[in-house]
Amino acid sequence: MVESRTRLLILDDDRDVACAAQMLLRRRHGAVATLDDPARLEALLADGVPDVVLLDLNFTPGRIDGAEGLAVLDRLRTLARPPAVIALTAYADVPLAVEALKRGAVDFITKPWDNARLAAAVDAALARRTAANVPGASALMGDSAPIREVKAMIAGVAPTEANVMVLGENGVGKELVARAVHQASRRAAGTFLAVDMGALPEATFESELFGHRKGAFTDAKSDRAGRFQAARGGTLFLDEIGNMPLPAQARLLTALERREVTPIGADRPEPVDVRIVSATNLAEDRLFDPAVFRADLLFRLNTIVIRVPPLRARRDDIPALLHHYLSLYEGQYQRPVRELAPAALDRLCAWDWPGNVRALRHACERAVILGADADYRYEDFGLAPAAPPAPVQVEKDQDFRLGALERDTIAAALDKARGNISLAARMLGVSRAALYRKLGKHGI
Ligand SMILES: Nc1ncnc2c1ncn2[C@@H]1O[C@H](COP(=O)(O)OP(=O)(O)OP(=O)(O)O)[C@@H](O)[C@H]1O
């Protein structure tokens, strides 16, 4: 994907709160705008739509019904390319957070927040600004035999309450499969809440998932709902499950076995009413290694396993995906409709797509933005390997080596992390979203 700066917007009437969030996020993301009055939102949107909006749900002092924030959320969702919205609320109001999630917010944070948690939520929102945010892209495309099999499994398993584990390489569409299970289930009217288990800090793991009571620990200034409570009546998607440390796995297992969770500081457990869909890109031999993943947790989660094959194993889907994403980005960037030259299509179908559908999508975005000919050419997709180093002038040579160095470092980190994106991003000291951008840039 073409590198672009992330745009964040913080919409909160409390200037101190907005300023604190701005300072925290500016270090990581650069451009962070703040707005204390929703009446000025339209003028700001006219200048460009942000990627992520941190949205306070109550502006007028004393109001706690969230109606003001929900109205802004509804407005943002009508945009052609809506931002990912993280709802902010000063009140541990689970119904309000759930309402925001139902109306399309990707996450919620209770104020006062933990900085690491806020930063992780923004990263996750950026990485997830995918299917849910792009009209028409939420359906699983493809009609190859393997993808038809996946769709048949989804149709068969969705109406049951069985836990589903989705396996597959990065970018194959595991989250789309999880959403499809939710949408075809009896819980479709409820919340679909995705949690990146690999990104949950170990210290706050329990409070994030199960919630806490005011005063349970020094920073617990108010009650806080956990993900299990927020997804009540809906589906909890536990993503990157293979990245969980073993102690966290034990705590999750207890909750699933007892079907109840106890918020930290509470004296009574609360029943759990969620359907669990989990996903990992770990290879199955790693998943069955007890040093990596607890067997008892695995057997809780994998009642039904849906394996999503890599794109290179279902090349018949490539033409439809290319046409879909090219026309999607032509519309989005208001670029002319262009054909894919037959020779280019052949080469794109022969490419192995190591980053799977996500990489294909990024490549299409690049081609739409950079392609200049009447038809799309293979070169427009940025997949050709880097040119061999030539003994040209020193400066150019250095540029080339810098790019190659970055690519090699990323490839080495991915290799070491066995394809685990969260882990590789942590090793490289960048966010998951930034790593995905770099993967797209290098066609990895
Ligand atoms: N069959 C498909 N049809 C259309 N778009 C797809 C399909 N599969 C994946 N995509 C798109 O590819 C991108 C990656 O999909 P998704 O996030 O579901 O993959 P993932 O397997 O969960 O990735 P990761 O393991 O990296 O989290 C998304 O933008 C999604 O919309």
Q: 360 with 403, same domain? A: no
Give CA–CA dist 50/85, Å, rounded. 10
* Cα–ligand 1 centroid distance for 53 (angstroms): 22
Q: 178 with 288, same domain? A: yes
| Ligand 1 neighbour 153 (Cβ under 6 A) | no
pLDDT value of position 365:
92
The residue whose C-alpha atom lies closest to atom 15 belonging to ligand 1 is 173
| Ligand 1 neighbour 140 (Cβ under 6 A) | yes
Q: 248 with 283, same domain? A: yes
Give CA–CA dist 430/242, Å, rounded. 20
Q: List the structure tokens of 69.
A: 């924030």
Q: 402 with 415, same domain? A: yes
* Cα–ligand 1 centroid distance for 400 (angstroms): 31
* Cα–ligand 1 centroid distance for 83 (angstroms): 18
User: Is 116 inside a domain boundary?
Assistant: yes
Residue 384 pLDDT level (bands cut at 50, 70, 90): low
Distance, CA of 395 to chain centre: 38
| Ligand 1 neighbour 168 (Cβ under 6 A) | yes
User: Is 198 inside a domain boundary?
Assistant: yes
* Cα–ligand 1 centroid distance for 222 (angstroms): 36
Q: Which residue has the higher pLDDT, 152 or 14?
A: 152
pLDDT value of position 152:
92
Q: 158 with 291, same domain? A: yes
Considering just the CA atoms, what is the radius of gyration of the chain in Å?
A: 22
Quick check: 385 pLDDT over 90? Answer: no
| Ligand 1 neighbour 171 (Cβ under 6 A) | yes
Where residue 217 sits, what CATH number does that domain have?
3.40.50.300
Total domains, the chain: 4
Q: C-alpha dihedral over 11, 15, 19, 25, to 10 degrees? A: -20
- The 10s digit of each residue's pLDDT in 332-346 is 888 889 999 999 999
| Ligand 1 neighbour 338 (Cβ under 6 A) | no
- The 10s digit of each residue's pLDDT in 107-152 is 888 877 888 888 888 888 876 664 444 333 358 899 899 999 999 9
Q: Which domain holds residue 43?
A: 8-126
Residue 3 pLDDT level (bands cut at 50, 70, 90): very low
Give CA–CA dist 20/32, Å, rounded. 11
Ligand 1 atom with minimal separation from the 360 CA = 12
Q: 151 with 39, same domain? A: no
Cis before residue 112, ω within 30 degrees of 0?
A: yes
Task: Check residue 382 and give left, alpha or beta (phi > 0: left; psi -120 to 50: alpha).
Answer: left
Give CA–CA dist 121/107, Å, rounded. 7
Least confident range from 176-190, 222-236, 265-279, 379-393: namely 379-393
Size of the chain, expressed as the number of residues it contains: 444
CA neighbor of 360 nearest in space, from 188, 137, 197, 42 = 137
* Cα–ligand 1 centroid distance for 263 (angstroms): 33
| Ligand 1 neighbour 137 (Cβ under 6 A) | yes
User: Is 2 inside a domain boundary?
Assistant: no
Average pLDDT for 436-443: 74
pLDDT value of position 273:
92
Among 275, 292, 309, which residue terminates a domain? 309
| Ligand 1 neighbour 141 (Cβ under 6 A) | yes
Quick check: 391 pLDDT over 60? Answer: no
Sign of CA dihedral 338, 339, 344, 348: positive
Where residue 84 sits, what CATH number does that domain have?
3.40.50.2300
The residue whose C-alpha atom lies closest to atom 9 belonging to ligand 1 is 173
Ligand 1 atom with minimal separation from the 317 CA = 1
Ligand 1 atom with minimal separation from the 436 CA = 26
Among 250, 280, 309, which residue terminates a domain? 309
Where residue 437 sits, what CATH number does that domain have?
1.10.10
Q: 356 with 417, same domain? A: no
User: Is 388 inside a domain boundary?
Assistant: no
Q: 69 with 88, same domain? A: yes
Whether the CB-CB separation of 163 and 301 falls below 8 Å is answered with: yes
DSSP characters over 22-84: HHHHHHHHS-EEEES-GGGHHHHHHT---SEEEEES--STT--S-HHHHHHHHHHHTSSSPPE
Give CA–CA dist 121/12, Å, rounded. 17
**In 284-418, which residue ranges form alpha helices assigned H by DSSP?**
284-287, 295-301, 318-332, 342-350, 356-370, 394-416
pLDDT value of position 2:
34
**In 134-204, which residue ranges form alpha helices assigned H by DSSP?**
145-157, 174-183
Q: 328 with 236, same domain? A: no
| Ligand 1 neighbour 438 (Cβ under 6 A) | no
Give CA–CA dist 338/369, Å, rounded. 12
Whether the CB-CB separation of 6 and 29 falls below 8 Å is answered with: yes
| Ligand 1 neighbour 198 (Cβ under 6 A) | no
Give CA–CA dist 98/320, Å, rounded. 35
Task: Check residue 366 and give left, alpha or beta (phi > 0: left; psi -120 to 50: alpha).
Answer: alpha
Where residue 321 sits, what CATH number does that domain have?
1.10.8.60
Ligand 1 atom with minimal separation from the 138 CA = 31
Q: Which helix (H) or strand (E) holds 10?
A: strand 8-11
pLDDT value of position 5:
56
Ligand 1 atom with minimal separation from the 142 CA = 1
Q: 172 with 276, same domain? A: yes
| Ligand 1 neighbour 421 (Cβ under 6 A) | yes
| 151: CB partners within 8 A, 6+ apart | 140, 180
Give CA–CA dist 165/357, Å, rounded. 19
Give CA–CA dist 9/1, Å, rounded. 22
Q: 302 with 340, same domain? A: no
* Cα–ligand 1 centroid distance for 358 (angstroms): 6
Least confident range from 154-158, 296-300, 383-387: namely 383-387
- The 10s digit of each residue's pLDDT in 52-84 is 999 998 877 777 778 888 999 988 887 777 888
| Ligand 1 neighbour 320 (Cβ under 6 A) | no
User: Is 266 inside a domain boundary?
Assistant: yes
> For 6, how many CA atoms within 13 A lie in the half-sphere containing its CB?
24
pLDDT value of position 59:
79
Whether the CB-CB separation of 365 and 2 falls below 8 Å is answered with: yes
The residue whose C-alpha atom lies closest to atom 18 belonging to ligand 1 is 173
Give CA–CA dist 292/328, Å, rounded. 40
pLDDT value of position 256:
93
User: Is 137 inside a domain boundary?
Assistant: no
Ligand 1 pocket mutation, candidates 151, 167, 176, criterion most atoms within 8 A of CB: 176
Average pLDDT for 380-385: 81
275 by DSSP, 3-state: which? strand
Among 381, 404, 433, which residue terminates a domain? 381
Ligand 1 pocket mutation, candidates 129, 147, 175, criterion most atoms within 8 A of CB: 175
The residue whose C-alpha atom lies closest to atom 29 belonging to ligand 1 is 130
Least confident range from 95-109, 232-246, 395-409: namely 395-409
User: Is 322 inside a domain boundary?
Assistant: yes
ipTM summary value: 0.98
* Cα–ligand 1 centroid distance for 150 (angstroms): 14
Largest CA distance in the chain: 71
pLDDT value of position 1:
35
Residue 363 pLDDT level (bands cut at 50, 70, 90): very high
| Ligand 1 neighbour 361 (Cβ under 6 A) | yes
User: Is 431 inside a domain boundary?
Assistant: yes
Q: 105 with 12, same domain? A: yes
Ligand 1 atom with minimal separation from the 147 CA = 1
In this prediction, what percent of the chain has a pLDDT beyond 90? 39
In this prediction, what percent of the chain has a pLDDT beyond 70? 90
- The 10s digit of each residue's pLDDT in 159-195 is 998 999 999 999 999 999 999 999 999 998 888 999 9
